[in-house]
């Protein structure tokens, strides 16, 4: 099984909150991915609020994972994925929808503690917190 961590999962792991980091260590690094959209959100957070120690910890953590680019294959999956979520009467923020579609496009389980993700994605999301 492969996993893609969302922004709050990476943040929780970097801050050693919950059991995210511990659970990550129980999986092969080759099965843990992060979308470059998550990377952009993290970089925005570091630019907005200077926290050098947390940034260094997060960067060290990210260096152990594969960061995947959003490419044409994800763009091809996104429309039907989003329509499917909305057809169920569910919604996500735009960034969360992009991250969830990225996970879906590679057949990954999304790791998130966001209740909205769990509501919208049901069986395709897990909370390691």
Handedness of CA 86, 89, 90, 94 (dihedral sign): positive
If you ran DSSP here, which 8-state letter would residue 63 be given? T
* pLDDT tens, residue by residue, 36-95: 999 999 999 999 998 899 999 999 999 999 999 999 999 999 999 999 999 999 999 999
pLDDT band at 16 (very low <50, low <70, confident <90, very high): very high
pTM equals: 0.93
If you ran DSSP here, which 8-state letter would residue 92 be given? -
Domain at 3-126: CATH code: 3.40.50.1010
Q: How far is CA 5 from the centre of its chain?
A: 3
In angstroms, what CA-CA distances link 31 with 26, 34, 58, 67, 114? 11, 10, 18, 12, 21
Domain limits of the chain? 3-126
* pLDDT tens, residue by residue, 95-112: 999 999 999 999 999 999
């Amino acid at each position: 099984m492969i996993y893609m961590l969302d922004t709050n999962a990476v943040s929780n792991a970097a801050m050693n909150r919950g059991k995210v980091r511990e659970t990550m260590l129980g999986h092969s690094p080759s099965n843990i991915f992060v979308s470059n959209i998550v990377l952009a959100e993290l970089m925005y957070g570091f630019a907005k609020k200077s926290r050098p120690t947390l940034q260094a910890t997060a960067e060290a953590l990210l260096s152990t994972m594969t960061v995947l680019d959003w490419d044409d294959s994800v763009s091809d999956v996104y429309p039907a994925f989003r329509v499917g979520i909305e057809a169920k009467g569910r919604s996500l923020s735009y960034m969360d929808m992009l991250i969830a579609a990225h996970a879906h496009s590679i057949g990954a389980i999304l790791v998130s503690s966001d209740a909205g993700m769990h509501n919208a994605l049901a069986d395709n999301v897990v909370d390691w917190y």
